[in-house]
Amino acid sequence: DAGVIQSPRHEVTEMGQEVTLRCKPISGHNSLFWYRQTMMRGLELLIYFNNNVPIDDSGMPEDRFSAKMPNASFSTLKIQPSEPRDSAVYFCASTPPEQDTQYFGPGTRLTVL
């Protein structure tokens, strides 16, 4: 079975540009999570969805960040405009119904110059 798929794996952009990260959860999973990982702050939960509905976005750092889940098989995390401090690895994870185990994607390494 395919795991969680994220694209792109690496993104290098310039400050002020819009960045869109994509995630395809495991088929049949109904919860999806976006995390950010940095050396300084560790692993931070940004937002999570249950049945395509955003449940908690309190971890989204500011209005420049937005996330959508238009259907059960696709989610995006958008940063507009991007800033150098947004440089990090962004992970997507999904969980099956009625379970707590999260399955992580390989991550997108974002570098904002």
Partner 1 sequence: AQSVTQLGSHVSVSEGALVLLRCNYSSSVPPYLFWYVQYPNQGLQLLLKYTTGATLVKGINGFEAEFKKSETSFHLTKPSAHMSDAAEYFCAVSGGYSTLTFGKGTMLLVSP
Binding residues for partner 1, rule: CB under 8 A, are 4, 31, 33, 42-43, 45, 48, 50, 55-56, 91, 93, 95, 99-107
**Structure letter (DSSP) for residue 82:** -
Does residue 60 contact residue 35 with C-beta atoms inside 8 Å?
no
- The CA distance from 65 to 12, in Å, is 17
Cβ at position 14, least distance to partner 1 in Å: 24
- The CA distance from 53 to 51, in Å, is 6
* Nearer Cβ to partner 1 (62/100): 100
* Nearer Cβ to partner 1 (81/106): 106
Cβ at position 73, least distance to partner 1 in Å: 18
* Nearer Cβ to partner 1 (64/109): 109
Cβ at position 4, least distance to partner 1 in Å: 7
Residues 6+ apart with CB under 8 A from 39: none
